Amino acid sequence: MVDSISDTVHPTSVFIHILKMDYSTCPITVYLASADTHEKVPKFEQILMTPKLTDGFREIIENIIKKCLKEVGGNNTLLLDYFIESVLEENEIECFELATRKTIADQLEPLKLLTDIETFAEEKDFINGIRFYVIVAQPDTSEPVYFYHFYTPKKILKRTGLHAIFRQQR
């Protein structure tokens, strides 16, 4: 996970590189983030992936990439500093340096060492506290790419098929 983008690498070129990468064969892992209302930093758990589940998440990545390419038009992309009241054009995307957003950086801190994250154990409190999940693609030729998705039980998980995890793992 890149903490910040240096002055020598322009965010737009990094974004275009991510869009052009081949995700068809790289390892895919998924991490659920759960927290109760009083916790500021979520607990992460890794989903055990079957080949079918991996293919499903790989398809999600491919759909995200296709949507981005269609909406932003490749080299016409403008990455702008995040501003809460922005109204964006189709080719504009807001971004920010993670280092400037301590609250967000703190929440993502556990993802710095993926090998320390425990396996998803289907505990009721953890499931009830899920806030988002992260799909991590690990291409051979570059750093891992993290795709973050907010969790809403009725919309996101049902639509993406993640609900099958809870049933498959029993």
**What tens digit of pLDDT does each residue of 6-62 get?**
445 677 778 888 888 899 999 999 999 999 888 888 999 999 999 999 999 999 999
Q: For tokens 């289907």, name the residue.
A: 122
Instruction: Kindly report the pTM of this predicted structure.
Output: 0.77
Distance CA 9, CA 143 (A): 14
Q: What is the DSSP letter of 84?
A: T
Give residue 56's pLDDT.
92
Give, to the nearest 10 degrees, the angle between helix 11-20 and helix 51-72.
130
Distance CA 168, CA 164 (A): 6
Per domain, the residue ranges of the chain are 11-168
Considering the chain, what is the average pLDDT of its residues? 79
> Tell me: the pLDDT tens digits for 48-70?
999 999 999 999 999 888 887 77
- Is pLDDT of 110 > 60? yes
Percent of the chain with pLDDT over 90: 26
